Structure 1
Amino acid sequence: MRTTQLLIGDQWVDAATGATSETMNPATGEVIGQFADGGKADVDAAVDAASDAFESDAWRSISPDARGKMLWRVAELLEENAEEIAALETLDQGQPAFVSRNISLPLAAQVFRYYAGFATKLEGKISPVSIPHQLSLQHREPIGVAGLITPWNFPLDIAAWKLAPALATGNTAILKPAEQTPLSTVRLAELCREAGIPAGVVNVVTGGPEVGKALVAHPGVDKISFTGSTAVGQEIVRTAAVDLKRVGLELGGKAASIICDDADIDAAVMGNLHGALFNTGQACGAFTRFFVHRSRADEFVSKLAAAANALKVGPGQDPATVVGPLVSEDHLNRVDGFVKSGIEQGAQLVTGGSRAGGALKNGFFYKPTVFTEVKDDMTIAREEIFGPVLSVMPYDDLDEAVARANSTSYGLVGVIWTQDLQLAHKLPPRIKAGTVFVNQLPLIDPGSPWGGIGLSGWGRELGSYSIDEYTETRSVFINLG
């Protein structure tokens, strides 16, 4: 049982109202932690602390090199405490241990190291101007106070994606983790303080949606970075329009996978299966719509269903587990509702389609589910399910496949499976998505941008592009006459 508080300035404190909430292990349904349930008053206090820190010499006078060293030290502390934090992530979110230990923790540390290097590379430039006797300089400035609102599917990694570039560029931050999975974010904030980051530069307010709403509406918050549902992202835009604060959004996805007639079917089956079921399908970049050439569809479906049935479903702590639990009972019921709609609308259920029972009955486990003969207008083909549900959709020619793949309001990820080198180059530009993969899983690297188009969001995280998200450009004219 772990009890956590809010971090405001240099103090760990209870919520102003004294309210608390509980977080649970999705593999068992048991309560594992109690966290401070913050509200508007706590957001106000956190914004004051972050604003004071932003203006303070303790932060503004730190050299870029020293700031980079602090971020590097956070990365070292993540690695030094990797086993503990990975176990915490698996316990609170349900990630299989191979994900939390081998992907989430290493990636979070890698992100902090990557942006540690950027602290000393925020270069400006001199622009030639046509006005006589004028020198025009441009340089980057931090925006100010950043409200960082993170989701429950990859709590630690996405907090790192937002916090590291925000700090590298000299901003201060208020982290608001999802109420379902607050524990690893609180631990990250502890490590930031241990790394020597000054008081008030990193704050944490745990709690429900009201905390996020208060952050977005607060006039003292200069930047909002949000990862989550499209509906909430749209509401953030409406609220942020009042004072025109900067907004970055990484929202939903409905990734299409096009399996060409020349594809290596065995490789495509395994790649798509793991791309779809990574973190139990609770990933916005998960592969969900499989457009398979009709000549290969029967083979693909039979092999996909057999492979899905063979995957180990179980608690994340079990090293053999490939498919862990969904994050909550509510989310499990939501996924099950989508599956029922697929059956009702005429899709053919090949395997899965129900909650796991037996020894797993108390957890939030759902069997990997494969549908075939899915039509483009079915709910399971259009809505983001965020669970282990795979829809196979046969096609007859590539132009048809591309058009159908693009017939969605989302545009985060696409994937192509082909052994034809020309197709591997020609097809990606036709896919409306922020990232297109060819013959592989949905990989993420700090050096490559991540983000979408359409209802998948605004802006980019990771890579040098994230620096633009957390800086403003200032021009200075100097009269040399």
Structure 2
Amino acid sequence: MREIPGGFIDGHWVNSEAPGRIAIINPANGQAIGHAPAGCETDVAKAVVAAHGAFAGWASTPVAERIAILRRARDGISKRSDEIAALITQQMGTPISFSKAAQIGLPLRNFDVTLAAMEEIAGEEVTLGRSRIFRDPVGVVAAITPWNFPLHQIVAKVVPALLAGCTVVLKPSELTPFDAAVFAEILNDAGVPAGAFNLVFGGAETGAALVEHPGVDMISFTGSTRAGRSIAAIAGGSLKKVSLELGGKSANILLDDVDYEKVAPAALQQCFVNAGQTCAALTRLIVPRQHKERVEQLVGQLADGWQPGDPDLPDTRMGPMASFVQQGRAKRMVAAAVKEGARIVSNGAELPEGLNAGAYMTPVVLSDVDSDMDIVRDEVFGPVLCILAHDGDEDAVRIANDSEYGLSGGVWSADENRAFAVARRIRTGQVVINGAMLDLEAPFGGVKQSGLGREYGRHGIEEFFNLKAITRP
């Protein structure tokens, strides 16, 4: 059992003022693996005061020194990677092989890209007209992160904020506090000064206290669109800067010239990885009408290869969902879709023996759906793929854009120029062509109801600056 007594505030572990504790549940078996503080307004107030007090000193620290400290932190994560990967698997159920490859690999790569981008920014001098342009750190940043890629999302917010000269109060998801606690230890060991980084725990109460606190200058949040709207409304009252990476219902367009046998396995990967609990998952597969039946057969059969298993086993491809709440919601959405007329084209096999105690869900591929159905319009955040038919490139773009979301997208074609032309017309924050891997040097974020602002690389650091112009006569 792991126990976290309180937050990491002003360079020390401080007992929480909250009376309650949150049990951290392993979704693979429903068993508690430890406890974390429930968090409260008093914890937040202490952390914000510490961050405010440390701001002037950290902002004036030479950029080269900030870079050196964060580079040591990167090495600290690498040294403790096996420990952190195991914690992430225990907390949210992702297979251990995926934890090591992605849940650790992505934040390490993000560190490298962000450090390189900061070195580039630090060497620039910008003059426009008679003015010299300076980048000033925003101030105290409240970073509120999700459970699906817990360490990766922490790194994507905390590292650029610290490099920019901001101080930070981090609130991780209440489902995944343990990797955040290790991260706090690593930053402290790397030499981040007291108060520059602070960590509080808890759920909605803690998050609301952070958003509302007058000492917070910026909120960087990743989570649901519903929560993002609430944060933006509260932040607007005091004109806090916000960066919001929210939900998605991203389209994956297959054009009529692709090799469907080759594309189908990748299309399932783009939807089902991390048990479908990925904001950028490509969950709407838009295929040529004349090839729809063929695609249904292919992905329906291939879905059997994504049957869930014990996440601690190295060969497991899909673990449980992160919680029983997530599992229940996804199953209810599928049942409602079937009631509306959707057809399950995957095998729908029963769970393997021995998994009934966990938050497991057999992956589902649905067809005979339309854009008016909730299963097509709303984010499931689970292993559910919807197949829709298009009647040519323009129609495919129309269907892709018929969504309140705009976070990610995919296009497949034997002609890369054709794929690029289609991608340019999709209203979304980023599009991958022919299965391209995530590029951490490129900006990541959404349009429409998928959010505001961008993360990763140079653009991610720029979010944490205010621009100042000093003009000569």
> Which residue of structure 1 lines up, in the alignment, with residue 446 of structure 2?
452
Q: Does 1:278 align with 2:294?
A: no
User: Equivalent residue of 1:464, what SS?
Assistant: helix
User: Contact conserved, 1:71 with 1:115, CA < 8 A, in 2?
Assistant: no
> Which residue of structure 1 lines up, in the alignment, with residue 206 of structure 2?
211
Distance in 2 of aligned mates of 1:233 and 1:17: 25
Q: Does 1:247 align with 2:242?
A: yes
Q: Which runs of 4+ in 1 moved over 6 A?
A: none
Q: Does 1:470 align with 2:467?
A: no
Q: Once the 2 structures are TM-superposed, how far is the Cα of residue 476 of structure 1 from its aligned partner?
A: 1.8
User: Contact conserved, 1:67 with 1:119, CA < 8 A, in 2?
Assistant: no
User: Equivalent residue of 2:333, what SS?
Assistant: helix
Distance in 2 of aligned mates of 1:33 and 1:445: 35
Task: Output the amino acid matched with 1:2.
Answer: R
Q: Once the 2 structures are TM-superposed, how far is the Cα of residue 414 of structure 1 from its aligned partner?
A: 1.1
Q: Once the 2 structures are TM-superposed, how far is the Cα of residue 96 of structure 1 from its aligned partner?
A: 1.2
Task: Output the amino acid matched with 1:462.
Answer: Y
> Which residue of structure 1 lines up, in the alignment, with residue 256 of structure 2?
261
For these two proteins, the number of residue pairs brought into alignment is: 470
Task: Output the amino acid matched with 2:70.
Answer: L
> Which residue of structure 1 lines up, in the alignment, with residue 36 of structure 2?
35
User: Equivalent residue of 1:411, what SS?
Assistant: coil
User: Equivalent residue of 1:313, what SS?
Assistant: coil
User: Contact conserved, 1:97 with 1:316, CA < 8 A, in 2?
Assistant: yes
* Cα separation, partners in 2 of 1:244 and 1:352, compared to 1, 3 Å: farther
Which of 285, 294, 299 pairs up with 1:304?
A: 299
Task: Output the amino acid matched with 2:444.
Answer: W
Q: How does 1:379-390 map to 2 (within 5 A)?
A: 379-390=374-385
Q: Once the 2 structures are TM-superposed, how far is the Cα of residue 434 of structure 1 from its aligned partner?
A: 0.7
> Which residue of structure 1 lines up, in the alignment, with residue 51 of structure 2?
50
Distance in 1 of aligned mates of 2:433 and 2:18: 51
Distance in 2 of aligned mates of 1:355 and 1:2: 33
> Which residue of structure 2 lines up, in the alignment, with residue 340 of structure 1?
335
> Which residue of structure 1 lines up, in the alignment, with residue 101 of structure 2?
102
Q: Once the 2 structures are TM-superposed, how far is the Cα of residue 357 of structure 1 from its aligned partner?
A: 5.8
Under a length normalisation based on structure 2, what TM-score does the superposition of the two structures give? 0.96
Which of 158, 172, 175 pairs up with 2:170?
A: 175
> Which residue of structure 2 lines up, in the alignment, with residue 78 of structure 1?
77
Q: Does 1:26 align with 2:20?
A: no
Q: Percent identity?
A: 37
Q: Once the 2 structures are TM-superposed, how far is the Cα of residue 92 of structure 1 from its aligned partner?
A: 0.8
User: Contact conserved, 1:74 with 1:112, CA < 8 A, in 2?
Assistant: no
User: Equivalent residue of 1:408, what SS?
Assistant: coil
User: Contact conserved, 2:59 with 2:137, CA < 8 A, in 1?
Assistant: no
Q: Once the 2 structures are TM-superposed, how far is the Cα of residue 396 of structure 1 from its aligned partner?
A: 2.2
Q: Once the 2 structures are TM-superposed, how far is the Cα of residue 112 of structure 1 from its aligned partner?
A: 2.0
Unaligned stretches of 5+ in structure 1? Answer: 130-135
Distance in 1 of aligned mates of 2:28 and 2:250: 27
User: Equivalent residue of 2:354, what SS?
Assistant: helix
Task: Output the amino acid matched with 2:290.
Answer: S
Q: Once the 2 structures are TM-superposed, how far is the Cα of residue 312 of structure 1 from its aligned partner?
A: 4.1
> Which residue of structure 1 lines up, in the alignment, with residue 286 of structure 2?
291
User: Contact conserved, 1:355 with 1:366, CA < 8 A, in 2?
Assistant: no
> Which residue of structure 2 lines up, in the alignment, with residue 359 of structure 1?
354
User: Equivalent residue of 2:456, what SS?
Assistant: coil
My pick for the range that moved more, 449-458 or 111-120, is 111-120
Distance in 2 of aligned mates of 1:435 and 1:273: 19
User: Equivalent residue of 2:181, what SS?
Assistant: helix
Q: Once the 2 structures are TM-superposed, how far is the Cα of residue 143 of structure 1 from its aligned partner?
A: 0.6
User: Contact conserved, 2:10 with 2:194, CA < 8 A, in 1?
Assistant: yes
Q: Once the 2 structures are TM-superposed, how far is the Cα of residue 299 of structure 1 from its aligned partner?
A: 1.4
- Provide the aligned C-alpha RMSD in A: 1.5
User: Contact conserved, 1:69 with 1:116, CA < 8 A, in 2?
Assistant: no
* Cα separation, partners in 2 of 1:144 and 1:349, compared to 1, 3 Å: same
User: Contact conserved, 1:347 with 1:373, CA < 8 A, in 2?
Assistant: yes
Deviation by residue 1:326-384 (Cα, 9 ceiling, x = unmatched): 11111111001110111010011122558736310000000010111111111111100
Task: Output the amino acid matched with 1:47.
Answer: V
Distance in 2 of aligned mates of 1:331 and 1:357: 20
User: Equivalent residue of 2:372, what SS?
Assistant: coil
Q: Once the 2 structures are TM-superposed, how far is the Cα of residue 55 of structure 1 from its aligned partner?
A: 2.3
> Which residue of structure 2 lines up, in the alignment, with residue 375 of structure 1?
370
Deviation by residue 1:282-315 (Cα, 9 ceiling, x = unmatched): 0011111111112211111111111111234112
Unaligned stretches of 5+ in structure 2? Answer: none
User: Equivalent residue of 2:209, what SS?
Assistant: helix
User: Contact conserved, 2:27 with 2:93, CA < 8 A, in 1?
Assistant: yes
Under a length normalisation based on structure 1, what TM-score does the superposition of the two structures give? 0.95
